[in-house]
Amino acid sequence: MKSSAELVRTAWNLGVMVPSFNVPYLPMVEPIVRATRDQDAVAFVAVARLEWVKFESRSLSAVMEEYERWQDPKHVRLHLDHVPVMDEDHQRVDVLAIIKEAIALGYQSVMVDGSRLALVDNIRATRAVVELAHAAGIACEAELGAVLGHEDGPLPPYEELFKSGKGFTRVEEARQFVRESGCDWLSVAIGNIHGAVSQAARDNKKIEARLDLDHLGRLREATDIPLVLHGGSGVCREDVRAGIKRGLAKVNVGTEIRQAYEVALKASGAVAVAQQAVHARTAELIRDYFGIQGLRAALMGKT
Ligand code: 13P
């Protein structure tokens, strides 16, 4: 079976990408796997710490159990998304304990997010997780730069943020970070923002983000590893597609499919209807937005 690391490398070399769909609710796992199979595509099912703390995915083991019920190794892999060293509420997190638990459960790749730390501290925290992940034979993703949106309170006006490049991943820092941390994939800030997760704002429609493609090109050159786009919901489609050609080999999508689930559940009161909504939206994203349907054989080879 092709590892997640090999999969993302293959996508990167081909100029395509593997989407990563977050599951804040356990019943989302089944329609994501089904939509990926229906589109003959490849995707990650992912869970971030905040999704079992602030939403309803319960725990690492609950997600693994649900994943095992529906998994299809020809099409999907399980990824542990954002384990922050310092979380969105500025609390320190016992990252290593969570990563060790995920590895023991069989998660196929992990992410450590030290982006709220100073560069040297981010490198040190990431390095420790990379060592654990590599000892277990799996890939480790890290983040450098400020992908805003998870924090409480209003964001600065988007156009201001984009024009100033405030919080964007710096090229020279990225070069040093990748060399010294040993991470396999790097999440970068290039105009992308996360959908809100606070109670007050989580139902809001995300504003359309753009990507600084020239900056992405410079980051690719400096890092020479697969780059990851977080905040993949509602980014300008042309920018995402151009970004994939310039080194984005994994794109994370949360808000769009979460809101599809929540809206349908609220309207119908039926989990099955909400699952249908997730299936429809995931299929649409794979086919119409990312344009990566039918890529399974190219990415997985003979499985
Ligand atoms: P969105 O919720 O903005 O799609 O971001 C998801 C994400 O980046 C998860 O890591």
Predicted local confidence at residue 200, as pLDDT: 86
Condensed to tens digits (0 to 9), the pLDDT of residues 228-268 reads: 999 999 999 999 999 999 999 999 999 999 999 999 999 99
Q: Which domains does the chain show, CATH number per domain? A: 4-300 (3.20.20.70)
As to burial, measured by CB atoms within 10 angstroms (0-12 exposed, 13-18 middle, 19+ buried), residue 124 is middle
3-state secondary structure 83-142: EECECCCCCECCHHHHHHHHHHHCCCEEEEECCCCCHHHHHHHHHHHHHHHHHCCCEEEE
Predicted local confidence at residue 303, as pLDDT: 59
Predicted local confidence at residue 155, as pLDDT: 82
Atom 5 (ligand 1) nearest CA? 231
| HSE-up (13 A, CA, CB side) for residue 49 | 24
As to burial, measured by CB atoms within 10 angstroms (0-12 exposed, 13-18 middle, 19+ buried), residue 116 is middle
Q: Report how far ligand 1's centroid is from the alpha carbon of 97 (Å).
A: 23
CA dihedral 54, 120, 177, 125 (to 10 degrees): -40
Q: Report how far ligand 1's centroid is from the alpha carbon of 302 (Å).
A: 31
- pLDDT tens, residue order, the chain (303 aa): 899 999 999 999 999 999 999 999 999 999 999 999 999 999 999 999 999 999 999 999 999 999 999 999 999 999 999 999 999 899 999 999 999 999 999 999 999 999 999 999 999 999 999 999 999 999 999 999 988 888 887 888 899 989 999 899 999 999 999 999 999 999 999 999 988 888 888 999 988 999 999 999 999 999 999 999 999 999 999 999 999 999 999 999 999 999 999 999 999 999 999 999 999 999 999 999 999 999 999 999 875
Predicted local confidence at residue 87, as pLDDT: 94
- Whether 27 and 264 have beta carbons less than 8 Å apart is answered as no
Predicted local confidence at residue 248, as pLDDT: 98
Residue of 205, 251, 255 to test ligand 1 pocket, by largest number of atoms within 8 Å of CB: 255
Q: Which residue numbers are catalytic?
A: 81
Q: Which residue, chain included where needed, has tokens 């359309």?
A: 208
pTM of the model: 0.97
Condensed to tens digits (0 to 9), the pLDDT of residues 175-213 reads: 999 999 999 999 999 999 988 888 888 999 988 999 999
Kindly list the protein residues whose Cβ atom lies closer than 6 A to any atom of ligand 1.
22, 48, 81-82, 194-195, 230-233, 252-255
Please give the structure tokens belonging to residue 132: 């654990």
Q: Which residue, chain included where needed, has tokens 């943020």?
A: 161
Please give the structure tokens belonging to residue 61: 């083991």
Please give the structure tokens belonging to residue 34: 């089904």
